[in-house]
């Protein structure tokens, strides 16, 4: 039977952020959420800047959101 995967939801990301602030390990966070520690590690690795975890991807300080117009300008060679 194939495995099914679910993305982390906003609540889970907020829990990860809070538990990291409270110095819980990635394994402890995974157990608390019923997720694999490797899932928590990948989430942390993808959404950190200078070692700090941001629960909302692409909303890091100083970053610009990706918009349809910015994608179009890149594809037309501008």
Q: Which residues of 26-40 are buried (b: 16+ CB within 10 A; e: fewer)?
A: beebbeebebeeebb
Q: Is the pLDDT of residue 50 over 80?
A: yes
| pTM confidence score | 0.67
What is the average pLDDT across 11-23?
95
Q: Give the C-alpha separation, 44 to 66, whole Å.
A: 21
- If pLDDT is split at 50, 70 and 90, which confidence band does 55 have? confident
Question: Does position 65 have pLDDT exceeding 70, yes or no?
Answer: no
Do 54 and 48 meet the contact criterion of CB atoms below 8 Å apart?
Answer: yes
* pLDDT beyond 90 at 20: yes
Q: Tell me, what's the pLDDT at 22? A: 97
Contact between 42 and 29 (Cβ < 8 Å): no
């Amino acid at each position: 039977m194939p495995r099914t995967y679910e993305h982390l939801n906003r609540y889970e990301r907020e829990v990860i952020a809070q538990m990291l602030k409270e110095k819980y390990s990635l394994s402890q966070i995974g157990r608390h959420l019923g997720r694999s520690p490797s899932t928590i590690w990948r989430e942390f690795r993808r959404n950190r800047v200078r070692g700090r975890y941001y629960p909302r991807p692409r909303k890091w300080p100083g970053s610009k959101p990706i918009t349809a117009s910015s994608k179009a300008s890149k594809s037309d060679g501008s």
